[in-house]
Amino acid sequence: MLYSEIADVFDRLEGTSSRLEMTSILSGFFRTLDPVSLRHIVYLSQGKLHPDFFAVELGMADKLVLRSIAFVSGMSESKIDELWKKEGDPGTIAETLVKNKKQTALSYEPLTLETVLKNLTLIENAEGRDSQDKKTKYLFNLLKDSGPVEARYICRIVTGRMRIGAASMTILDALADAFGTKEDRPEIERAFNITCDLGLVAETLATGGVDAVRKIKVAVGNPIKVMLAERLPSIPLILDRMGGRCAMEFKYDGIRVQAHIDKDSVKLYSRRLEDLTSNFPDIASELRKRCRAERAIIEGECVAVDPETGGMLPFQTVTHRRKKHGMDKAVEDYPVRIFMFDILLADDEDMTLYPFEQRRSRLGKTFDLSEKVQLTSMEVVGTRQEGEEFFSKALSMKCEGIMAKSLSPESVYRAGSRGFLWIKYKKDYEEALTDSFDLVAVGAFHGRGKRAGKYGALLMAVFDDETGKYCTVCKLGTGFDDAFLAGMPDMLDGYLSEARPRMVDTQMTPDVWFLPTVVLEVVAAEISLSPTHTAAWGVVKEDAGLGLRFPRFTGRVRDDKGPEECTTANEILSIYELQTADKL
Ligand code: AMP
């Protein structure tokens, strides 16, 4: 298959911001593809060669890509460097230069999907001292035969900038449309949520239809999208929502891991699907040792403990274990324990289909507990007093608060979904008028006065999971200390975007734009109607959205959360509704 056909589809997708139109472009295209090509194209549309949880990444540095562009176009590297400083995106530069080169009519061989995959794989696997030269060469092989649009997407894929707006939910819509019906959409989504592999779901669906998709099972090695909690601002409201009785667990302040335990190997994944095994080698081996089952998938929170007293330490301490280098020393210096709270697979049994109590009891039976491998503290609670006592106990043990878990027969593990089967209640809900939010930076304003030459404030957004857009909720300029202000460009400039990214929905124009990537924790005094901010636009009032009043950065960068996992527009709306109900 010609790569130009694929690049044209990417171009059409980039040209529209309507999710419906994207779905129809994709489903029409998907129907024309054989199952294996479909699988590869689905990965490419996400800027990848594999599912998200694969550790290997293409990640070519811009400078290296510019060198290949220089070879192909005949333009000097210094001239290209100038263009890059202006444009910021090697994809756009490659497109323009290839367009000019084509006017001089050099002969070239049309690129096929196979050639693209072959060379991208070579780039991914290039190792050793001359790996950079090899990567430049393989990229050159592709660019020399590319048309302008093909060149644009090849450069975006290799530099990790492939954001054509086809989010995984849009791909699932298109797959359902192409190979099933609307009614099949939940089954297709479940298959994705329990495998995190869009390509696998696509190929299975195109080969065997929805029946084959239904047979996809949770499996060791395929991370499962994590289940998430809603929030409520008081114990009585939680009990009310839970039908008067629920389980309560400590909410530990650490890093969530999903452990995939096999006969003689263990892999740990973060909630963003990164492989964390090398960060917690001690936990991985202890889990294997303590697990009675041959295979299991469990979830727990890794928490740093004081080596002397065994007391729990704050989140910042366990982040020393997220380093890339010097892990041996960090393992020694920062002892960690895992507090397990769920089991998703036990031998060959898919535990996600069982209610909470059955999972919890199976979890306890599957492990010989030790100091390092423990269960979360849990109690069944039926009154406000019991709940409040349990909450105080959690705080005295240095936990963030509690997690309430439904005991209803419907309380299955809902992979990838946020709902009221789990409700979180944190200490800061009591302190601030509202509570903390995880917001994504989508832009920045240059600083003035003491902050001249730095970013002075950030434009922050929530994710609207219905439209796939990032909607702004505040301009954030408070809570930054000097070190954070100085480090902001390093943290954010890799995601600069020359124009407003299409998935960002805002009425403000910051000095610079960012692709939504970096998530920061923010507290605020209140949520109020806003004529400028676009979260839940028009829902409470025509021509108004919701914004945060007096937002302040807590100092916590949520690098354990991806942009789509930040606070959603719906959460902001439900907190606003609770807040206004309180005032009545
Ligand atoms: P948040 O990150 O504030 O949305 O809170 C949800 C996170 O709390 C989960 O993703 C886990 O990392 C963490 N957590 C801590 N203790 C528990 C628990 N007992 N059950 C479930 N999640 C927990």
Please state the domain extents for the chain. Answer: 3-159, 228-432, 437-583
Q: How far is the CA of 576 from the centre of ligand 1 (A)?
A: 22
Phi, psi for residue 345 in degrees, rounded to 5: -145, 135
Atom of ligand 1 nearest to the CA of 426: 3
CA distances in angstroms from 37 to 40, 44, 134, 206, 452, listed in the order given: 5, 10, 26, 11, 51
Continuous segment of H or E residues that includes residue 423: strand 418-426
Token readout for 266 is 């263990």
Nearest of 491, 407, 488, 493 to residue 451 by alpha carbon: 488
pLDDT of residue 431: 52
Q: How far is the CA of 227 from the centre of ligand 1 (A)?
A: 9
CA distances in angstroms from 160 to 154, 460, 492, 495, listed in the order given: 10, 22, 15, 10
H helix count then E strand count, the chain: 21, 21
Nearest CA to ligand 1 atom 10: 256
Nearest CA to ligand 1 atom 11: 256
Nearest CA to ligand 1 atom 9: 256
Nearest CA to ligand 1 atom 18: 251
> Which mutation among 338, 403, 435, 557 tests ligand 1's pocket best, with the greatest number of atoms within 8 A of CB?
403
CA separation for the pair 557, 579 (Å, rounded): 26
Q: Is 251 an active-site residue?
A: yes
Q: How far is the CA of 229 from the centre of ligand 1 (A)?
A: 8
pLDDT of residue 88: 78
- Give 183-191 contacts, CB < 8 A, sequence gap 24+: 184/210, 184/213, 187/213, 187/214, 188/213, 189/416, 190/415, 191/216
Q: Is 143 helix (H, G, I), strand (E, B) or coil?
A: helix
Q: Do 316 and 389 contact (CB within 8 A), yes or no?
A: no
pLDDT of residue 583: 43
Q: Is 155 helix (H, G, I), strand (E, B) or coil?
A: helix
> Which mutation among 378, 422, 424 tests ligand 1's pocket best, with the greatest number of atoms within 8 A of CB?
424
pLDDT of residue 428: 67
CA separation for the pair 542, 547 (Å, rounded): 15
Q: Is 64 helix (H, G, I), strand (E, B) or coil?
A: helix
Nearest CA to ligand 1 atom 3: 424
Nearest of 73, 1, 69 to residue 41 by alpha carbon: 1
Q: Do 474 and 434 contact (CB within 8 A), yes or no?
A: no
- Beta-strand (E) ranges in 272-394? 296-304, 336-346, 349-350, 373-375, 378-381
Handedness of CA 569, 575, 577, 580 (dihedral sign): negative
Angle of helix 90-103 versus helix 62-73 axis, rounded to 10: 0
Q: How far is the CA of 251 from the centre of ligand 1 (A)?
A: 6
Atom of ligand 1 nearest to the CA of 376: 19
CA separation for the pair 100, 11 (Å, rounded): 19
The class of domain 437-583 in CATH terms is mainly beta
pLDDT of residue 314: 86
Place of tokens 């089952």: 293
Handedness of CA 287, 292, 294, 297 (dihedral sign): negative
Place of tokens 């999971």: 465
Q: How far is CA 545 from the centre of its chain?
A: 25
Q: Do 415 and 342 contact (CB within 8 A), yes or no?
A: no
pLDDT of residue 161: 84
Nearest of 168, 171, 187, 179 to residue 208 by alpha carbon: 179
CA separation for the pair 317, 394 (Å, rounded): 19
Handedness of CA 360, 361, 363, 364 (dihedral sign): positive
CA separation for the pair 71, 69 (Å, rounded): 5
Q: What is the DSSP pairing of strand 418-426 with strand 228-231?
A: parallel
Q: How far is the CA of 60 from the centre of ligand 1 (A)?
A: 34
Q: Do 459 and 510 contact (CB within 8 A), yes or no?
A: yes
Q: Is 280 helix (H, G, I), strand (E, B) or coil?
A: coil
Measured from the Cβ of residue 207, the count of other Cβ atoms closer than 10 Å reads: 15
Token readout for 364 is 């306890």
Q: Which residues line ligand 1 (CB under 6 A)?
A: 229, 249-252, 256, 271, 301, 341, 376, 403, 424
251, 405, 469, 561: the catalytic one is 251
Assign domain 228-432 to its CATH superfamily: DNA ligase/mRNA capping enzyme (3.30.470.30)
CA separation for the pair 427, 421 (Å, rounded): 20
3-159 fold: DNA ligase i, domain 1 (1.10.3260)
Nearest CA to ligand 1 atom 23: 251
pLDDT of residue 584: 36
Q: What is the DSSP letter of 320?
A: G
Atom of ligand 1 nearest to the CA of 558: 2
pLDDT of residue 320: 86
pLDDT of residue 8: 97
Q: How far is the CA of 406 from the centre of ligand 1 (A)?
A: 15
Cα radius of gyration (the chain): 25
Atom of ligand 1 nearest to the CA of 253: 15
pLDDT of residue 291: 97
Spans of the chain, pLDDT less than 70? 102-107, 428-435, 580-584
Query: Left (φ > 0), alpha (ψ -120 to 50) or beta: where does 538 sit?
Result: left
Phi, psi for residue 393 in degrees, rounded to 5: -60, -40
pLDDT of residue 99: 84
Angle at 474 between CA 472 and CA 477, to 5 degrees: 135
Q: Do 187 and 213 contact (CB within 8 A), yes or no?
A: yes
- Give 21-24 contacts, CB < 8 A, sequence gap 24+: 22/165, 22/166, 22/170, 22/174, 23/170, 23/173, 23/174, 23/177, 24/174, 24/177
Q: What is the DSSP pairing of strand 246-251 with strand 401-405?
A: antiparallel
Atom of ligand 1 nearest to the CA of 405: 20
Q: What is the DSSP letter of 454?
A: S
pLDDT of residue 207: 97
